[in-house]
A and B are shown apart, each in its own frame.
Chain A
Amino acid sequence: MRSEEEANRAIDLYADTVRRIGMVYLKSYADMEDIFQTVFLKYILHDEDFLNETHEKAWLIRVTINACKDFRKSFFRSRTVSIEEAIQQSAPIEPEAKEVLSAVLALPKKYKDVVYLHYYEGYTAVEIGKILGKNVNTVYTLLARAKKQLKDILGGEQFA
Chain B
Amino acid sequence: MRNRIQQAFDFVHAETDLCQNTKQYIAHEIQNRDLQRPAKRVPVLRYAVSMVCIVLVFVAFSTYQAYTTEVSAISIDGSASLELGINRFDRVVRVSQFDTMQVEESQLLHKNYVEAVDCVMQQEIVSDAANIPIQIGVTADSAKHGQQILACLSTESPDITTHAHCYEVSPEIAEQATQAGISMGKYKIYLQLQEQYPDLALSDISHLCMQDLMAMLYTEGEIPTSTDMQCNSNMGHHENGHRGNGMGKQYGKS
> In the complex, A119 Cα to B9 Cα: how many Å?
10
Contact B1 A150 (CB under 8 A): yes
* Size class of the contact patch on chain B: 20 to 34
Footprint of A on B, CB under 8 Å? 1-2, 4-15, 18-19, 21-23, 25-27, 29-30, 33
Category for how many chain A residues contact B: 35 or more
Q: Does A104 contact B (CB under 8 A)?
A: yes
Q: Mostly helix, strand, loop or mixed at chain B's interface?
A: helix
Task: Tell me if A57 is interfacial: C-beta within 8 Å of chain B.
Answer: no
Query: Taking the complex as formed, is A16 at the interface, i.e. its CB lies under 8 A from any CB of chain B?
Result: yes
Complex interface: chain B residues within 8 A of A16 (CB): 12-14
Bound form: Cα–Cα A41–B10 in Å = 25
Q: Is the CB of A4 within 8 A of B27?
A: yes
With a CB–CB cut-off of 8 A, which chain B residues contact A142?
Answer: none
Nearest A residue to B31 by beta-carbon distance? A4
Which chain B positions have C-beta within 8 A of A8? 23, 26
CB neighbors of B among A1-39 (8 A): 1, 3-4, 7-8, 11-12, 15-16, 18-20, 23, 32-33, 36-37
Cα(A33)–Cα(B218), bound, Å: 115
Q: A44-B30, A91-B13 are in contact. Are A11 and B8 (CB under 8 A)?
A: no
List B contacts of A120 (CB < 8 A): 5-6, 9
Binds B, one of A46-54, A67-75, A94-102, A131-139: A94-102
Residue of B nearest to A116 (CB): B9
Nearest chain A CB to B35 CB, angstrom units: 12
C-alpha spacing A62/B203, complex, angstroms: 93
The answer to whether A100 touches B14 (Cβ under 8 A) is no
Give the contacting residue for A15; candidates B1, B2, B14, B33; CB below 8 A: B14
